[in-house]
Amino acid sequence: MSNIVSCRNVSKVFGHADLAVQALQGINLDIHAGDFATLAGPSGSGKTTLLNMIGALDTPSSGEVVIDGQPLARLTAAQLSEIRLHKVGFVFQAYNLIPVLSARENIEFVLELQGVPGAERKERALNALADVALEGLADRRPAQMSGGQQQRVAVARALVSRPAIVLADEPTANLDSKTSEELIALMYRLNQERGTTFVIGTHDPGVMAHSKRHIQLLDGRIDGDGQG
């Protein structure tokens, strides 16, 4: 199996001296193509911090992260942006969407950043909306959609650029259990049908129930990694 992401000895320290917080300690982790992995652990165990490393949102204090064959060490902020734009899709806990853009425009925005031409952009955005069963809400602004619908638009946006990996940090935290279940089922289906790689940070047992691989974090270390 090929590695989409490799973390070698990744540590992350926030702050200095007395106030230093060791958020991650010597993480070694490979994410394989087609993974549908959950990242769990108590609050403060480092889930968000690790997802930030995997997604090139942040750089480790020491150790090495390689995304899709590209080592992240010594990349500039602009170069990291490029990696995120082309290789990573994100679904955050909330406020995923740009409020002044419609669902379709939010999805198209990423394609525009990638330089995809207009006609293709529109078609791909509408297809992505159809994939998450929201084709009817293409012209709605985020404020006119429910939390679950917004998260599905975020999933559609994360997928539309055909990234190597999709990272989701507590994507269901603001949703009721039925909507959570639907969102996870949707991501799982996309993983099954397209082979898209997912890593999902979560507390939600319902989410973990779907996972094919379960990574447990404790105090910034990997406390368990097994097939779910």
Partner 1 sequence: MSGTLHSFIQLAWRNMWRNPRRTLITLVVVSAGLWSILFFNAFLNAWMQSSKDATLKLLIGSGQIHAREYMDNPNIKTVMAPPGARLRAALERPEIAAWSARLVLPGVIQSEYKTRPVNIAGVDPATERRLSSIPAKIVRGRYLNGVDDDGVVLGLHMAKRLKTGLGRRVILMSQNADGTVSEQSFTVVGLFDANQKTEDFYVFTGRAADQRFLHLNAEISEIAFAVPNDADLDPVLTRLRAAAPQLDVRSWRQLSTYLAATDSMMRGVIYIWLAVVFSMMAIGIVNTQLMAVFERLHEFGLLRALGMTPRRVLMMVSLESLFLIGVGCLVGMALAALTIWGLRGGIDLSAFAKGLELVQGGQVLFPKFDLASFVVFPLLIWLLGILVALWPASRAAKASPVEAMRHAT
Binding site for ligand ATP (CB under 6 A): 14-15, 21, 23, 41, 43-49
Q: How far is the CB of 170 from ligand ATP (least distance, A)?
A: 7
Binding site for partner 1 (CB under 8 A): 48, 51-52, 55, 57-58, 77-78, 81-82, 84-86, 88, 90, 92-96, 98-101, 105, 108-110, 112-118, 121, 157, 169-170, 173-174
Is residue 129 a contact partner of residue 153, using CB atoms and an 8 Å limit? yes
99 interface partner picked from partner 1, Mg ion, ligand ATP, none, CB below 5 to 8 A per type? partner 1
How far from 102 is each of 98, 109, 115, 153, CA to CA, in Å? 8, 10, 19, 10
Closer CB to ligand ATP, residue 129 or residue 168? 168
25 interface partner picked from ligand ATP, partner 1, Mg ion, none, CB below 5 to 8 A per type? none
Closer CB to ligand ATP, residue 42 or residue 118? 42
Binding site for Mg ion (CB under 5 A): 47-48
Q: How far is the CB of 35 from Mg ion (least distance, A)?
A: 20
45 interface partner picked from ligand ATP, partner 1, Mg ion, none, CB below 5 to 8 A per type? ligand ATP
Q: Cβ of 98: how many Cβ atoms within 10 Å?
A: 13
109 interface partner picked from ligand ATP, Mg ion, partner 1, none, CB below 5 to 8 A per type? partner 1
Q: How far is the CB of 110 from partner 1 (least distance, A)?
A: 6
23 interface partner picked from ligand ATP, partner 1, Mg ion, none, CB below 5 to 8 A per type? ligand ATP
225 interface partner picked from ligand ATP, partner 1, Mg ion, none, CB below 5 to 8 A per type? none
